[in-house]
Amino acid sequence: MAFARTCSVALVGVDGVIVEVQADLEPGVAAFTLVGLPDKALSEARDRVRAAIVNSGEAWPQRKLTVGLSPASVPKSGSGFDLAVACAVLAAAERLDPSSIADLLLIGELGLDGRVRPVRGVLPSVLAAADAGYRRVVVADQTAAEAELVPGVTVLGVRSLRQLVAVLTGAPEPEEPADRSAGRPDPLMAGLMLPSAGVRGLPDEAAARMDLADVAGQYEARRALEIAAAGGHHLYLKGPPGAGKTMLAERLPSLLPPLTQKEALEVTAVHSVAGLLPAGRPLVDRAPYCAPHHSTTMPAIVGGGSGLPRPGAVSLAHRGVLFLDEAPEFPVRVLDALRQPLESGEVVIARSAGSMRLPARFLLCLAANPCPCGRHSRRGEGCECTPAMVSRYQGRLSGPLLDRVDLQVQVAPVTRAELMQRDSSAETTAVVAARVLAARERAAARLTDTPWRTNAEVPGHELRTRWQLASGALNDAARQLERGLLTARGLDRVLRVAWTVADLAGRDRPEQRDIRTALVLRTGVEQGLPLTEQFFGRADTAAERTGDRYRSAGAGAEPRPARSRSARRSADPQPDPEPEEAAP
């Protein structure tokens, strides 16, 4: 028989399409024709496959050879089809039994010496094979652990074409030569780690050394960080340089709970396609962290690019944190491109050859200075920027983008007492992460019969109709809405944050103080109580020891609602301020 077929997978984004690889031998002048819409790397498979077969001790058929990749309308790229093409050619030449490879799915690149090299995107490829009903998969030995993450699939990891031929024919497996790269990185893994393919996540070792207790002061920002992690809410940190915005953002991934099995597979599939899956770590089970530079281009953030489309930073941060430091320095087009994935949790990249859908459900953390020089405040002391410069700088973050950010926190300068004195009562990452996990479990129990798992994912209509609030809880938010200070989307996001605050406090439903806390976090204007007192029901004693005064002007005096805690600290950063005048 001069015809044989087997299967492989073509990746479109992180989705796999089963491709049937057919080989046909006919009498005629020896030639090798590859059809089926291959790209340049796949067209070169003709030379790689021929050399690999000959150097594996097999005879190359001296006839007219045609290899077809079906369906022909699907674009195919990369070198992962080499192993399937080689086996189909050997089966057509009657070196292998065609029936032995008909139900196999083969993924791997061939070296000229016949070694099987790993390729990117093995996990999504095997997932697509399992969905299509394939139960036997052959991959490179280095990526066998990644392929074995898919349940119900038998994985065979091979190191050479000779080894695979021996397994399929029942012959003794040849002994592979000793690895000559002892003490050095495996050269076969070079194709998996592309140093410039995208944004890398934060290494676990570095993340383990970053503790929330290392941040001096910033009690409001700490609480906002906890609420963001507990509910999956987007966060905007605004303050002068050196206040601790980057330190806070780097510690946010450590507060997120471990990924579930389904979420881990989603994240691993994206990192595998992007070439960022760490060697020896087939499963990413912790929330990723991506912090691209502000000079990053649109394709690097959203995804796509020329040639082979790749996931961008929004997809690499899927189920994790995307941190944009110096956010106003990013191009306006890039920032506005985030609006659609912030709402839908996915990004659709349309090109002339077709569309690609990538997951992008991330927690956005923005950080910005108040002005180009960074010293702008309500009192205006030390700022050299003109009002037009300040307005232009702050206007680079558009209103529609900020309307999708639930928590907007003013980060004040750190006082001398907070910086020089060690606060023994500062909570560690482990303590806060435990509260976040408990709040997430409480929300998941409430959302059991729904497709959502965090409060940030619940549509506003469901929050307003399915789950009832305490009586009169929405009065403050309703007044803000009537005055035009809050949009309809803003009201929904206030409700989401209020449910998260209630979950952290162990309450069954939000009360008026929870709505007020959510309004403070969104508008920056206190509703009669400081954030720490609204959140815990009392003033933070640690903040009082460091000079954070939440005291009324005199006995029985009312607090000043128009002046936030951050504004008071910016206006008077000294640890021992003069007594304030009595409020009228």
Query: Which residue type, as a one-letter code, is found at position 123?
Result: L
Query: Which residue type, as a one-letter code, is found at position 246?
Result: T
**pLDDT at residue number 355:** 75
Query: Which residue type, as a one-letter code, is found at position 512?
Result: Q
**pLDDT at residue number 89:** 96
Instruction: Give the integer Cα–Cα distance in Å for 29 and 65.
Output: 9
For 25-67, the DSSP string reads EESSS-EEEEESSB-HHHHTHHHHHHHHHHHTTPPPP-SEEEE
Question: Are residues 48 and 85 in contact, defined by beta-carbon separation less than 8 angstroms?
Answer: no
Write out the H or E segment, with its range, that includes residue 459: none
185 token code pair:
């990185």
In the three-class reduction of DSSP (H, G, I as helix; E, B as strand; rest coil), residue 457 is classed as helix
Instruction: Give the integer Cα–Cα distance in Å for 317 and 289.
Output: 6
**pLDDT at residue number 473:** 86
Please state the length of the chain: 584
Question: Are residues 245 and 275 in contact, defined by beta-carbon separation less than 8 angstroms?
Answer: no
196-241, pLDDT tens digit by residue? 433 444 445 555 568 888 888 888 999 999 999 999 999 999 998 9
Strand order in the sheet with 154-158: 31-35, 64-70, 15-26, 3-12, 105-106, 136-140, 154-158
**pLDDT at residue number 208:** 57
**pLDDT at residue number 573:** 45
Instruction: Give the integer Cα–Cα distance in Å for 235 and 225.
Output: 8
Number of H-type helices and E-type strands within the chain: 26, 18
Ranges of residues in the chain whose predicted pLDDT is under 50: 181-183, 185, 194-203, 528-584
Torsion of CA 374, 385, 484, 223, to 10 degrees: 10
Instruction: Give the integer Cα–Cα distance in Å for 176 and 111.
Output: 15
User: Using only C-alpha atoms, what is the Rg of the chain?
Assistant: 29
Dihedrals phi, psi of 530, to nearest 5 degrees: -65, 160
Torsion of CA 469, 474, 475, 478, to 10 degrees: -150
**pLDDT at residue number 306:** 66
In the three-class reduction of DSSP (H, G, I as helix; E, B as strand; rest coil), residue 136 is classed as strand
Comparing C-alpha atoms, which of 551, 482, 558, 566 is closest to residue 521? Answer: 566
**pLDDT at residue number 474:** 87
**pLDDT at residue number 1:** 56
Residue 71, preceding peptide bond in cis (omega within 30° of 0): yes
Record the pTM.
0.82
For 196-209, the DSSP string reads TSSPPPPPHHHHHT
Instruction: Give the integer Cα–Cα distance in Å for 395 and 398.
Output: 6
**pLDDT at residue number 431:** 93
**pLDDT at residue number 381:** 64
**pLDDT at residue number 308:** 59
